[in-house]
Amino acid sequence: MAIFLIPSSYRCDCGHQLDFFENTVREMAELSRKRRKPQTIGDGSKHGVEFKGGEAVAVICPKLGRCEIMGWE
Protein backbone atom coordinates (compact mmCIF):
# COMPACT_ATOMS: atom_id res chain seq x y z
CA MET A 1 0.00 0.00 0.00
CA ALA A 2 1.74 3.15 -1.22
CA ILE A 3 1.10 6.43 0.60
CA PHE A 4 0.37 9.95 -0.62
CA LEU A 5 2.41 12.24 1.67
CA ILE A 6 1.83 15.84 0.63
CA PRO A 7 0.45 17.32 -2.60
CA SER A 8 3.52 16.24 -4.56
CA SER A 9 5.25 13.38 -2.72
CA TYR A 10 4.58 9.64 -2.64
CA ARG A 11 6.14 6.75 -0.67
CA CYS A 12 6.43 3.24 -2.06
CA ASP A 13 5.98 0.11 0.09
CA CYS A 14 9.73 -0.55 -0.26
CA GLY A 15 10.45 2.79 1.47
CA HIS A 16 11.50 4.83 -1.59
CA GLN A 17 10.06 8.35 -1.59
CA LEU A 18 9.21 10.18 -4.82
CA ASP A 19 9.19 13.98 -4.70
CA PHE A 20 7.89 16.21 -7.50
CA PHE A 21 6.97 19.86 -7.95
CA GLU A 22 3.26 20.45 -7.30
CA ASN A 23 2.86 21.92 -10.77
CA THR A 24 4.26 18.74 -12.37
CA VAL A 25 1.75 16.58 -10.48
CA ARG A 26 -1.09 18.92 -11.40
CA GLU A 27 -0.10 18.81 -15.10
CA MET A 28 0.12 14.98 -15.12
CA ALA A 29 -3.28 14.71 -13.45
CA GLU A 30 -4.77 16.99 -16.11
CA LEU A 31 -3.03 15.08 -18.92
CA SER A 32 -4.38 11.75 -17.64
CA ARG A 33 -7.86 13.24 -17.50
CA LYS A 34 -7.65 14.53 -21.09
CA ARG A 35 -6.05 11.46 -22.67
CA ARG A 36 -8.14 8.93 -20.71
CA LYS A 37 -5.13 6.61 -20.54
CA PRO A 38 -2.86 6.02 -17.55
CA GLN A 39 0.13 8.39 -17.55
CA THR A 40 3.34 7.73 -15.58
CA ILE A 41 6.03 10.08 -14.27
CA GLY A 42 9.32 8.99 -12.75
CA ASP A 43 11.90 10.59 -10.50
CA GLY A 44 15.11 9.40 -12.18
CA SER A 45 15.16 6.08 -10.37
CA LYS A 46 13.17 3.14 -11.70
CA HIS A 47 10.14 4.17 -9.62
CA GLY A 48 7.15 5.99 -11.10
CA VAL A 49 3.71 7.29 -10.22
CA GLU A 50 0.72 6.27 -12.36
CA PHE A 51 -2.08 8.77 -12.91
CA LYS A 52 -5.49 7.74 -14.21
CA GLY A 53 -8.64 9.83 -14.54
CA GLY A 54 -7.02 12.91 -13.04
CA GLU A 55 -5.52 11.39 -9.89
CA ALA A 56 -2.55 9.34 -8.72
CA VAL A 57 -3.58 5.70 -8.40
CA ALA A 58 -0.37 3.68 -7.99
CA VAL A 59 3.39 3.72 -7.48
CA ILE A 60 5.31 1.51 -9.91
CA CYS A 61 8.20 -0.17 -8.07
CA PRO A 62 11.01 -2.17 -9.73
CA LYS A 63 11.05 -4.62 -6.78
CA LEU A 64 7.36 -4.91 -5.82
CA GLY A 65 5.59 -4.04 -9.06
CA ARG A 66 2.45 -1.92 -8.98
CA CYS A 67 1.51 -0.67 -5.48
CA GLU A 68 -1.90 0.96 -5.14
CA ILE A 69 -1.99 4.35 -3.38
CA MET A 70 -4.33 3.85 -0.47
CA GLY A 71 -4.12 6.89 1.74
CA TRP A 72 -2.47 9.97 3.19
CA GLU A 73 0.12 10.34 5.88
Concatenated DSSP letters of 26-57 = HHHHHHHHHH-S-EEEE-SSS-EEEEETTEEE
Q: Three-state SS for 12?
A: coil
Confidence of residue 2 (pLDDT cuts 50, 70, 90): confident
Task: Report, as an integer, the average pLDDT of 49-69.
Answer: 94
pLDDT digits (tens, 9 = 90+) for 13-56: 999 999 999 999 999 999 999 998 899 999 888 999 999 999 99
Q: Which residues contact 42 (CB under 8 A, 6 or more apart)?
A: 48, 49
